[in-house]
Amino acid sequence: MAIHPIDFRYGSAEMKSIFEQESRLQKFLDVEAALARAHADVGNIPKSAAVTITKKANTKFVKVSRVKAIEKRTKHDLMAVVKALSEVTGPAGKHVHLGATSYDIVDTANALQFKEALAIVERDLKALEKTLKNLAKKHINTVAVGRTHGQHAIPITYGLKFALWATEIGRHIERVNESKKRVLVGKMSGAVGTQASFGKNGIRIQKLVMKDLGLASAEVSNQIVQRDRYAELISLLALIAATLDKIAKEVRNLSRTEILELSEKFEEKGQVGSSTMPHKRNPINAENICGLSRVIKSNVFVALENVSLEHERDLTNSSSERVIIPESFILLDEILKRTNNVMKNIVLYPENIKRNLEMTGGMEMAEAIMMGLTKKGVGRQEAHELLRKLSIKAVKGKKSLKEVLTENATIKKHLSESEIDWIIDPQNYIGTAVEQVKNVTGR
């Protein structure tokens, strides 16, 4: 019976398949086969034995059910794999797992999983980056009010907002690629890292195995690949989740009834917003993204705790990693794809964008007037104080900014009415926003 929502609700089949029992068993077998081939290359075992082990190191021959049955007796999951593989390899079975400790196999298999999973994450990130760049191009001139501290600030463009998110996703793509040299690492170092069980060819065997599997070799290790690498990986996944949380939170806020500058696409023919309020159009995908991002981010604490194991290792990391690694990857895959879908189908409401931009009667253009005055020779601080007082006057008197500007002698002394009209037009105060978007989307 399925219990965890990952089993039936979240994550793509492609990502989940990487962490399924049979797939993980196959990774263990892949590592055992590579180890046998390395031993044969250095002359430790017959070539024929390596060929047999390689042929049988497949879940067609080594069944999950058989491994579970052996584990029930041995109380050791990896030893159960070794015994199950040895059973089907005949005389060559005596060479299975030669010199290795359990985590030579487990950690190297982990790296193989990371390699596949990061490829999906990277693909998802590139798809989202493309979507955001397309939106930035489309809305390069869509002027809206910017907000700081939840208050109207000065004009911004939606193109700049989307370009900002695209560049952040771009940095995550860079981080994924940069992390691979530290994360996609395996090892064959034996019980405490000395490679004593591999003899004089220990370093060569490790290099042969990792080259065979397309992984980097740990420079030095104890019984495990050091968990600062895993902490970096989980932190990276959490950092990506934090950006998706940020994007989704902005979608949610801009979807508020009293703002409604944009919203998720709502399927009018059948989608239900509430079981009791028929009119509701809730931002359910954005809320889902924010909620699941919290789970991913919380796993960082566990990954950091796993860095400081005792002596050459203890087992406290094992149980938690069985949870946080697949969970983080699968949930991130879910919210990456969901974010891309939300943004590809995002609906903007130009009339509401214009309404909100004009809501304060031009107050968002106070800075523009201040800068206009400085160009006329008025000191910056003097201009700031004047506009501060005029803004207060406008609010108290329920007047527009232009009304109080045209009533003020200092303003009239330096700016004509036509100059004021030009300055307080939001279209004329978006700075280099268009140029910045072009720089981002043209890369």
Domain-wise residue ranges, the chain:
15-95, 102-355, 363-423
Q: Which residues pair with 347 in a beta bridge?
A: 263
pLDDT per position as a tens digit, 193-206: 999 999 999 999 99
Is residue 418 among the annotated active site residues? no
Residues 261-307: tens digit of each pLDDT: 999 886 767 676 665 666 667 888 999 999 999 999 999 999 999 99
**pLDDT given at position 274:** 61
List the one residue out of 218, 256, 240 whose CA is nearest residue 110. Answer: 218
Rounded to the nearest 10 degrees, the angle between the axes of helix 77-88 and helix 64-74 is 120
21, 8 Cβ separation under 8 angstroms: no
User: Is the pLDDT score of 144 beyond 60?
Assistant: yes
Q: Which fold has domain 102-355?
A: Fumarase C; Chain A, domain 2 (1.20.200)
In this predicted model, what pLDDT tens digit does every residue of 30-62 receive, in sequence order? 999 999 999 999 999 999 999 999 999 999 999
Catalytic residue among 149, 275, 311, 418: 149
Residue 80 confidence (pLDDT)? 97
Q: Coil, strand or helix: which one is 145?
A: strand
State phi, psi for 192 to the nearest 5 degrees. Answer: -130, 10
Q: Of 17, 48, 274, 416, which one is the catalytic site residue?
A: 274
pLDDT in tens, 313-324: 999 899 999 999
Ramachandran angles phi, psi of 226, nearest 5°: -65, 140
| Structure confidence at residue 268 (pLDDT) | 63
Residue 76 known to be catalytic = no
Model pLDDT, residue 360:
95
Rounded distance between C-alpha atoms, residue 321 and residue 166, angstroms: 31
Percentage of the chain modeled with pLDDT above 70:
97
In the DSSP assignment, the letter for residue 218 is P
What is the reported pTM? 0.94
Write the CATH number of the domain with boundaries 15-95: 1.10.275.10
CATH code of 363-423, in short, is 1.10.40.30
**Quick one: pLDDT at residue 36?**
98
